[in-house]
Structure 1
Amino acid sequence: MDLKEYIKAMLDWFSVIINELKGYGEVIPKEKLVGNLIDSIPGSWDSKKTTSIEVKNLKMLKFDKLIGCLLTHEMMSNERKA
């Protein structure tokens, strides 16, 4: 993810990659998707990354739940800046 890129754009790109891999028959475990998504988030989001890892067991964290948390965090950050 680029520093000026919105989380939605990064998630859309991530989904394209996942869907292409599925098209080739690659099955990616949910835990790996969650881990890769967290790793893709830039350093400016370190507090959110750390919270996601510490508060939620990564094996129990659902991919959709993580996406919702990231979108909410971005929305709240943008509201504070406005």
Structure 2
Amino acid sequence: MIEWERYQVDRRYFTATGKHGVIERFPTICPNGHPLGPDTMLVAAHPCLCISHGHRIWRCWTCDAVWTRPPCSRHPEWTPWSG
């Protein structure tokens, strides 16, 4: 069984699968309404000075809009994603 608190994993962003598996949740539409999924978005870890561990970003290939988690003070144009 996954020990969520031990690893400081936020359940809003992850789903347990089986005894030890974890799947990261992601937005299914971009901030402008385009569908997101395989071959429609870039998923990346963005290092940043505003937070010690950086950000997870999802960039729409159709319009270049970005969801970010957690919010980024250096890129206010990125839309925060709350899960």
TM over 0.5, shorter chain: no
Structure with greater helix share of residues: 1
TM-score after normalising by structure 2 = 0.26
TM-score after normalising by structure 1 = 0.26
Larger RCO, structure (CA 8 Å, separation 6 or more) = 1
Structure with greater strand share of residues: 2
